[in-house]
Structure formats: C-alpha cells, structure tokens
Chains A and B, each alone.
Chain A
Amino acid sequence: MNWKEEWKNKWETQPGLMLITIVIWSIFIGLCIKAGALLYTFTYSLFKPSVAHDLYEGLNLYSLLGQHFWYYIGVMSFLLIITGQKAYMFYLMILVFLKINLVHPFSKEVSDKISEISHVALQIGVTIILASAYFKWLAKRGFDIPPLGGYIGGTFEYLLMGAIIYAIAQVFKRGVEIQSENELTV
C-alpha cells in the first residue's frame, strides 16, 4: 500500500486522530520557527548587539548583553535548549500519531516512542526548573533581566505531563505484552 492509500485509509478509519496529528504538526512547525528565529537572532546579536533589543516577539536582552556577555549566552542557551526540546517532543508525538493503528493498537514502536516522550517531558520540566533558578540568580545579582516565564513555559505542567505520559507508557508496555500473548494464542 502506498502512502496515499495509507493516508486515505487512516482518514477513513481514524479521522479524530488524524485531525489531532495536523494540530500537532502545526505546533511542531511553530516551535521550529521559534527555535530557528531565536537561533538566528542570537547568532546575529553576537555580531550586532542592537539585535538583542528584540530577539523574538519583544524579547529584549540588550542590557544583559551589555552587562555580561557570558550570562547572556547562558540565558539564550537555556531558551534555545527548552524550545528545541519542546519541538523534539512534538516531533515524537507526530511519529506516535502517524504510527497508531487502531486494528492492532499496541506496538512496540509506539510504546517506545511514548516512553521517550515522557522522558523528554520530564527533561523539559527539569530544564525549566534550572533555567528559572538561573534567571532568579541573575536578577538577584542585579542583572537587568526581563520576565522570561512566557518564553519558557511552566515547570509543573511539563513535570505533570511527563509523569502522566510515563504512567501511560507503562500501561502501553503491558498492552503490547498482552496483545502479543493474544496473537500467539491458538
């Protein structure tokens, strides 16, 4: 079956899942654009500091760049890592949604990807905790740093998501075993 027929078949059998796949695709593309724009303006700002006035959607780190170059690199690295991790998580979600087959829903491939999503979500949560602590530490030391909560997202949302997806991954793993047992029952 070629990919056109496969897509047509999937739209007929699981339209809800395919709709969500498209939403996830849009979020993934948005996050890639954000990561790309941040990386571009960050690199550009290293050569032309005035670019740091508006790095992405009004993100102004010009005064921090003027105060301490390496702390500016640190803040931007955190922002880039978190955005990159989020994009990667959505990429994994796309893979999961494209591989889900409702006739044989429990496959090892999907189970592994769900486990990986939970690990990435937990990693994002931990990175956001580290980034927040770093931003607070900078603010305490008198560096001019704008509120960056909107750019990195909430810690507990990702930790909660990671924990829930981890639980689902474990249930899915058991589902794979049960399905394999069922398929090998004569």
Chain B
Amino acid sequence: MPIIVNLDVMMAKRKMSLNELSEKVDITLSNLSILKTGKAKAVRFSTLEAICKALDCQPGDILEFVEK
C-alpha cells in the first residue's frame, strides 16, 4: 500500500513504548500493532486525534504517501 505508517519512528522519537501509547490513547495493543505494522485498512479520525495528542505530533508525521 502506498500509505506508510511511521508510528514506530514517532514512538522512538518520543521514547514511548507500545504499551504506554496503548494506555494513553485507549486502544488495544493488538489494534496498535495492526496500525504499526501497516496491516490496517483504515484509521478513524478519533484514533488519529488521540495518537497525535499522545505523541504531540501532526497526522503527517505518522502517515506518509509513497508512490510505488
């Protein structure tokens, strides 16, 4: 898929673990893992908002479009 999820990069920048993020955004670990590994087919705005708030970043920092 040409949309790349850079969640792991942002988490590394903020030095935040998956468990910690999961607790902060109130999303299960399995769902966060689906998002992190790029298996997700869609992301809700509410999820994106919560992740951006927790990682103090913009949606563009997490999602990237790469033409293949």
Contact = CB atoms under 8 A, between A and B. Distances in A.
Interface of A: 180-181, 184-186
B66 interface: no
16 contacts: A181-B41, A181-B42, A184-B40, A184-B41, A184-B42, A185-B40, A185-B41, A185-B42, A185-B44, A186-B27, A186-B31, A186-B32, A186-B35, A186-B42, A186-B43, A186-B47
Contacts of A185: 40-44
B37 to A, nearest CB: 11
Interface string B14-51: 00000000000001000110110001111110010000
Given A186-B27, A186-B40, A186-B47, 12 more contacts: A180-B41, A181-B41, A184-B34, A184-B39, A184-B40, A184-B41, A185-B40, A185-B41, A185-B42, A185-B44, A186-B34, A186-B44
Nearest to B31: A186
A31 to B, nearest CB: 43
Contacts of A186: 27, 31-32, 34-35, 40, 42-44, 47
A181 B1 CA distance: 14
B1 to A, nearest CB: 11
Nearest to B36: A186
A185 B27 CA distance: 12
Nearest to B35: A186
Contacts of A180: 41
A180 to B, nearest CB: 8
A184 B31 CA distance: 8
A50 B47 CA distance: 78
Most chain A CB neighbours (cut-off 10 Å) among B34, B40, B41, B47: B41
A175 to B, nearest CB: 15
A59 B66 CA distance: 71
B62 to A, nearest CB: 12
Nearest to A185: B42
Contacts of A181: 41-42
Interchain residue pairs A-B with the least CB separation, the first 5: A184-B41, A185-B42, A186-B35, A186-B31, A186-B40
B52 to A, nearest CB: 14
